[in-house]
Amino acid sequence: MSRRIECVIEHDVDVESDDGRTLKGVRATCTCCDAVTEAWGTSGSSVRRCLAQMREECEQGEDAYFYADDGSDND
């Protein structure tokens, strides 16, 4: 069974798009290693995208289930 790792979610943060524009989005920070991922948009799907990126980009090779500290990944 995969380990569960909590991520702190920040809502309505400014994130930069691929073309350099500033958009509203969400930011996830891993409570284990302080890694950060961002996604455009402010919905639950944007939060889930951040968490999926966290799993894909985990530098420690964690095979873990990353979840939002505030439950916003269930929206």
Q: What pLDDT tens digit does each residue of the chain (75 aa) get?
A: 578 999 999 999 999 988 999 999 999 999 999 999 999 999 999 999 999 999 998 777 667 899 999 999 998
Range of the domain at 52: 3-74
Predicted TM-score (pTM) of the model is 0.90
Is residue 62 within 8 A of residue 3, CB to CB? The reply is yes
Phi-psi region of 39 (alpha: psi -120 to 50; beta: other; left: phi over 0): beta
CA distances from 36 to 1, 15, 26, 57 (A): 24, 12, 10, 10
Nearest to 39 by CA among 53, 59, 29: 53
| Number of domains present in the structure of the chain | 1
